[in-house]
């Protein structure tokens, strides 16, 4: 029980920080992107959107650890849940090892309609 107290407190702080600061950060970035008051060496708004999208994907991979492992991959497949990987990247690894369930194959098929070989291309280059 003692081991749970610190992670629970950190989780609660992180949750409320995310809940209340997320929209402030996004709205502020939109305003900066629209008014174009950035300096030349600052990150551009379109790059910001890609990075935030990737971060959300990685966060969902961590949060959905148990459902993704139960519904998307067969036993012995690559585990979902690593906060440093996207859901698409792990799905690509499971596609290559032929360890996607029927549901994982359906998600992979749908993502491939958006971008050819999306999940395989999402695998980080140092992990292929």
Select from 79, 87, 81, 78 the least CA-distant residue to 110. 87
Span 14-42, average pLDDT = 81
Contact 95, 87 (CB under 8 A): no
- Give me the pLDDT at residue 46, please: 77
Rounded alpha-carbon distances, angstroms, from residue 124 to 29, 83, 114: 27, 13, 19
**Same domain assignment for residues 126 and 97:** yes
**Same domain assignment for residues 87 and 119:** yes
The residue segments making up the domain with residue 8 are 1-41
Over the stretch 96-128, which tens digit does the pLDDT of each residue have?
Answer: 999 999 999 999 999 999 999 999 999 988 766
**Same domain assignment for residues 33 and 48:** no
Helices 87-96 and 102-114: crossing angle in degrees, nearest 10, is: 120
**Same domain assignment for residues 81 and 27:** no
**Same domain assignment for residues 29 and 60:** no
Q: Looking at 9, 24, 41, which one is the last position of a domain?
A: 41
Specify the pTM. Answer: 0.78
Span 73-92, average pLDDT = 96
Portion of the chain with pLDDT greater than 70, in percent: 92
**Same domain assignment for residues 84 and 121:** yes
Into how many domains does the chain fold?
2
**Same domain assignment for residues 63 and 96:** yes
Residue 71, pLDDT > 90, answer yes
- Give me the pLDDT at residue 127, please: 65
């Amino acid at each position: 029980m003692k081991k749970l107290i610190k992670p629970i407190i950190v989780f609660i702080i992180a949750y409320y920080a995310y809940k209340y600061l997320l929209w402030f950060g996004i709205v502020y970035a939109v305003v900066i992107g629209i008014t174009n008051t950035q300096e030349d060496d600052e990150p551009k708004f379109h790059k910001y959107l890609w990075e935030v999208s990737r971060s959300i994907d990685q966060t969902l991979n961590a949060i959905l650890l148990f459902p993704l492992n139960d519904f998307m991959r067969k036993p012995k497949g690559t585990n979902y849940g690593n906060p440093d990987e996207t859901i698409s990247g792990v799905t690509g690894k499971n596609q290559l090892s032929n360890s996607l369930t029927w549901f994982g194959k359906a998600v992979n098929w749908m993502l491939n309609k958006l971008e050819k070989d999306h999940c395989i291309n999402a695998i980080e280059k140092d992990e292929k």
